[in-house]
């Protein structure tokens, strides 16, 4: 990745690359999911998303010792984790990135991964187009008035 990119541009690039990875790998992953032993490993889907997020987003932004908020995080768990960094939206709304997915028929973590769920600082969830949101990498426990 170009070292001349601004922090915001680098973050946007990394998020787009992660989205592209999910879209391209989804057909193969769907086959794996159909044959998975859900009784013995109920969190396989979330673990797969989180591990890829940690490697493809966290390491790209923070290096090998990346400690970034997971991709699969419940909105009531925002700010309660032990991670050091989170991704924060600052335009058009201020809030914390929760997940990427699609809202066709209700938000889900599924292709085309072109929308993001944001937990606004006032506690309201919003679903926005990924391309319409500007993000920053921030300390995981931001103050209510900081993006």
| 78-103 residue pLDDT tens | 777 778 898 999 999 999 999 999 98
Helix (H, G, I), strand (E, B) or coil at 6: coil
pTM: 0.85
Pick the closest to residue 130 from 146, 113, 106, 107 (CA basis): 113
* Total Cβ atoms within 10 A of residue 74: 11
Full pLDDT tens readout for the chain, 147 residues: 556 678 888 999 999 999 999 999 999 999 999 989 888 888 899 999 999 999 999 999 999 888 898 888 777 777 777 788 989 999 999 999 999 999 887 899 999 999 999 999 999 999 999 999 999 999 775 444 444
DSSP string across 50-119: HHHHIIIIIHHHH-TT--B--SS--GGGTTTS--SEEEEEEESS-EEEEEEEB-TTS-BS-TT--EEEEE
């Amino acid at each position: 990745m170009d070292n001349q990119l601004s922090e915001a541009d680098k973050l946007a690039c990394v998020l787009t690359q992660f989205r592209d990875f999910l879209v391209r790998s989804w057909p193969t992953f769907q086959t794996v999911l159909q044959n998975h032993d859900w009784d013995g490993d109920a969190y396989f889907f979330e673990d797969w998303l989180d591990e890829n997020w940690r490697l493809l987003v966290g390491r790209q932004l923070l290096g090998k010792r990346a400690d970034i908020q997971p991709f699969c995080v419940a909105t009531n768990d925002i700010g309660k984790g032990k991670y050091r960094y989170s991704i924060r939206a600052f335009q058009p709304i201020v809030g914390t990135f929760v997940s990427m997915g699609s809202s066709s028929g209700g938000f889900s973590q599924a292709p085309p991964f072109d929308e993001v769920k944001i937990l606004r600082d006032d506690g309201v969830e919003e679903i926005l187009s990924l391309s319409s949101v500007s993000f920053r990498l921030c300390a995981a426990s931001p103050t209510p008035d900081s993006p």
